[in-house]
Structure 1
Amino acid sequence: MKHLKFLAPIGLVLVFFIYALFPVRINKTLEISYGKSSVDIAMLLYREGVIRSPLSFITIHAFVRGKLEAGEYEFSGWVYPWDAYLKIHRWQRKFYKITIPEGSDIYDIAQILEENSICKAEDFLRLVNSPEITKKYGINTYTMEGFLFPDTYHFSKNTHPIKVVDTMFKNFLKRTETLRVQLEEKNLTLEKWVIIASMIEKETGVDEERPLVSSVIYNRIRKGMPLQIDPTVIYALKRKGEWDGKLTRKDLKLEDPYNTYYHTGLPPSPICNPGIKSLEAALNPAKTDYIYFVSMGNGRHAFSSNYKEHLKNVATYRK
């Protein structure tokens, strides 16, 4: 009898554990935010009815010790605890198509990511502006701006920002592989190349104009002239949280290393994430003596090689 009394609780525990391993029939989508522990995840699955007991999930994790990834997961049909665990461990998430347009800067990207619940804008910006992250990827600036390739991606909700950055940077390396081999021949560093490409990207959306804008930038650098590129000032204002959509004459006098009216030479880092056409143009500027250009009001620009001609173009197209 004493043995039976001793065995009874063990039997109950065993029955409960076996019951906990039974599958659940369910059709549900769950979001697991980044930073959650294995216990947090087990409790979430239990509360949402995906598993019969958090004990089953925790026990599996104790043996496997696999990495559990944040994201949005779909569970349907008969789901065993082991199925749920493997889905999260293998990062078999529900994906959403996210398009990052050419010329988007990190602030634009952060907004797109947050609007689509991929990750928080604040977390993304903190990460991409971290010198530790740029050092990890071998980038000689303090920000990942310029190296997050604009493209269409598939991300899950609640993806950790480092996963987003890693995916976009690896895409940059892949898409620019044939262009990067030309850098040494052109006597360009990776950073200088992308900085110039980012300014070209922001100045024109017309492909045939990109080499012309590129020539203006190189010609001005060669002559020691300030670049006087409006988007660099806009970027300076964005960094300060002061951009309201309107650029004023007062803004052009802003004391900031990104203000190419105030400082000669290139800004400290790219001002956006350029597309392939701008990257190509930064490597292969047109052979011109242009040092000025002005918007014609139709998306195109009028280029000139002296100030008198530039003033004439300004007077013509500002009307």
Structure 2
Amino acid sequence: MAKRRSSARGGLGCLLLIVIIVGGAMWLSVYRNWRGPGPATHHTTVVIPPGATLAAAARDLEHAGAVRSTTGFLRFARYFGSGAPIRAGEYEVAPHMSAKDILALIQSGKTVQRMITIPEGMPSIEVFDRLASEKLLTGKLPMPPEGSVLPGTYSFQRGEPRRAVLKRMQDAMTQTLNHLWMTRKANTVVNSKQEALTLASIVEKETGVPEERPMVAGVYSNRLRTGMRLQADPTIIYPMTKGKPLGRRIKLSEVRAKNDYNTYAMTGLPVGPITNPGKASIAAVLAPAQTDAVYFVADGKGGHVFSTNLQDHNANVQRYYNLRKAEGTR
């Protein structure tokens, strides 16, 4: 009887040992292939195309060195992962990120956010160049109409169509203009959203000092209201360069040139915007400063001096010329 009991205990002990060994091996396998550090030794980006299956994503992950094997990743994802769908986009896999965390990442939609910035006052020809030169975007791009893009910083994903990014910029302008139009004040001189964009584009080009925009808008509003010519230098340049810098002084013949933009040779607004104005400039022309000023000239410090009559304006102009001469500039 003693021998029989001893033999039974030995059999149970062996079985228990086998269970422990097998269980330990399974735990090690789960840890190594699912919960433990992954094989990636550096930050790795993986792009999941729209409509990709988990199997296709697993192959891409293995190819990028983010997981050890496609088969293993799929097996453990099936048994231990959530059933949430994966989401298209570009993902950044951190060094040694576990397969468990990688699955959660590509299910989260937390894609790499890349940014492109359109500064206030950037003309459409330069917006086009900036989008066209971004190598991570794809597809052809139409030239955006002047004034149709809202300046700002926009996120995009690798492989996204350029047209899609441009549409977001244009939708943002449409939404912003619609909202600001509803807040316009009684002293605004513009009669349409297009006129607001056109005048705002001139204000944008005439001052880089944010707090001056309502005042500059007030001056131009006074001129439009009384039939004075706007005489804005950027409107001379636009037909020649489409908004890019001229790179030299304006010639007298160009000041006198008659076209749909030159506000030295015509009264009223140009035929359309001369750049893409920002939100602050649009808001300024829809709620211009209450002022009697009809002139302004640079003060040599980045801003402007405003005046209500030609005599004071001429004196301000002379002071500006004297300052430039003292600084050795013309």
Identity of aligned residues (%): 35
For 2:119 and 2:249, locate their aligned partners in 1 and report how far apart those are by CA, in whole Å. Answer: 22
Alignment of 1:183-222 (within 5 A): 183=184, 188-222=191-225
Q: Which of 278, 281, 291 is residue 278 of structure 1 equivalent to?
A: 281
Greater C-alpha Rg = 2
User: Unaligned 5+ residue runs, structure 2?
Assistant: 1-38, 49-55, 65-69, 71-87, 323-330
Q: Equivalent of 2:248, from 226, 243, 246?
A: 246
* Alpha-carbon distance in 2 for matches of 1:282, 1:207: 13
Q: Distance in 2 between matches of 1:254 and 1:276?
A: 31
Q: Distance in 2 between matches of 1:195 and 1:216?
A: 15
Q: Is 1:180 equivalent to 2:198 in the alignment?
A: no
**Letter aligned with residue 292 of structure 2:** D
How many aligned positions are there?
Answer: 258
Whether the 8 Å CA contact 2:147–2:274 is kept in 1: the answer is yes
Deviation per CA, 1:155-181, whole angstroms, max 9, x where unpaired?
134532321222112222444454221
Query: Any gaps of 5 or more consecutive residues in structure 1?
Result: 1-24, 33-41, 53-68, 129-142
Question: How far 1:100 moved relative to its partner?
Answer: 1.6
AA aligned to 1:237 is: M
Distance, in Å, in 2 between the alignment partners of 1:92 and 1:211 is 40
The offset of 1:313, in angstroms, is 0.9
Look up the equivalent residue of 2:120 and give its one-letter code.
E
RMSD between aligned alpha carbons?
Answer: 4.4
Shift of 1:206: 1.9
- TM-score, scaled relative to structure 2: 0.61
Looking at structure 2, the residues matched to 302 and 153 of structure 1 have their Cα atoms a distance apart, in angstroms, of 35
After TM superposition, the score normalised by the length of structure 1 is 0.63
Q: Distance in 1 between matches of 2:230 and 2:44?
A: 55
Q: Residues 224-274 of structure 1: CA distance to partner in whole angstroms, max 9, x if unpaired?
A: 222111112222222298x54223224323343122112221112212222
Q: From 293, 296, 300, give the equivalent of 2:299.
A: 296
Please say if residues 212 and 285 of structure 1, whose CA atoms lie closer than 8 Å, have aligned partners that are also in contact: yes
Q: Secondary structure at the match of 1:258?
A: coil
- Other-structure match for 2:32: none
> Matched residues in 2 for 1:127 and 1:225: separation?
33
